Amino acid sequence: MIRQSSTADLSSQFALDTKGMGELRQSARAGSPDALKTAATQFEAMFVNMMLKSMREATPQDGPLDSQQTKMFTTMLDQQTSQNIAKKGVGLADMLIRQLSQGGTPAFPGGAELQSGVDSSARLQKSIEAVGGSAVASGKGAALPHVRAFQDKLGAHADEASRATGIPAKFMLGQAALESGWGRREIKQRDGSTSHNLFGIKAGPDWKGKVVTATTTEYVNGKAQTRVERFRAYDSYADSFKDYAKLITGNPRYEKVLASAGDASKFAQGLQRAGYATDPNYAAKLTSIIKRTLA
């Protein structure tokens, strides 16, 4: 428990849970410089942790080596990392303390602006409560650098495919992000160059173009299995989007997907029902990316 005369922090805790939030509120109420500094530093740690969480949620984690245990340890590592970063400081705690000491009105991402006319401890307490329900904690990831880079790189191709299919560009960007891990897990050629295959489209017997072989995870009766499959390869990302548009509009099994292209959830569920992917959580993952990350 944080006392008014103590400068102890929560660094020994691996989780910023409701108990930690309560301790921050109590520290903010104390009002002493040491207590305010401690609470402001912990506020900074919470902010960093929320950003790490948002980045994790924006990146699919369904590889053959991923499991509930690895996700749990990753979460614990992120929480401890946020504490370590806050100890060194990223400037938020210093800015907060400086503004409070000057009687200013701090403002935070997500519109969590503090009200003036109250003392510094009350304002810090209000900021702690505000960030707990702010947009930062909601997992919105549109401002994340790798998301912006992905959109900037492929947005024009998605817009062109949207005009051809009637599917919103961000729906296709979301699917490309899910299939390629935001471009970090693209299917590679033997020489390490990209195949430009953003949608994980396999090379069936009717495919006459380039082919690349890669290891993939397929689900059989709900269980993940590692397999080596043949995938289509393209000369450019533009060709990848064009081929995806041709597949979706030309295959009768995707008719209902096109019919529900105005709704992210129905679009994702339609793809899963049509057999686009074997992952039982494919629709939920795609919906989350579209609604939370690309919103």
Residue 85 vs residues 178, 223, 241: alpha-carbon distances, Å: 29, 38, 40
Residues of the chain predicted below pLDDT 50: 1-19, 103-121, 124, 127-142
Active site residues: 218, 243
Could you tell me where the DSSP H helices lie in 102-222? 120-132, 145-165, 169-180
The answer to whether residues 134 and 112 touch, using CB atoms and an 8 Å cutoff, is: yes
The answer to whether residues 284 and 164 touch, using CB atoms and an 8 Å cutoff, is: no
106-119 pLDDT, tens digit per residue, is 444 444 443 333 44
pLDDT at 18 (0 to 100): 44
pLDDT at 36 (0 to 100): 60
pTM over 0.75: no
Q: Which domains does the chain have, with CATH numbers?
A: 18-138 (no CATH), 145-293 (1.10.530.10)
122-150 pLDDT, tens digit per residue, is 554 554 444 444 333 344 444 588 899 99
pLDDT at 253 (0 to 100): 95
The answer to whether residues 109 and 135 touch, using CB atoms and an 8 Å cutoff, is: yes
pLDDT at 85 (0 to 100): 73
151-175 pLDDT, tens digit per residue, is 999 999 999 999 999 999 999 999 9
pLDDT at 16 (0 to 100): 46
The answer to whether residues 243 and 261 touch, using CB atoms and an 8 Å cutoff, is: no
CB atoms within 10 A of CB 102: 8
Residues 6+ apart with CB under 8 A from 140: 54, 292, 293, 295
CA–chain centroid gap for 215, Å, is 24
pLDDT at 136 (0 to 100): 37
pLDDT at 93 (0 to 100): 62
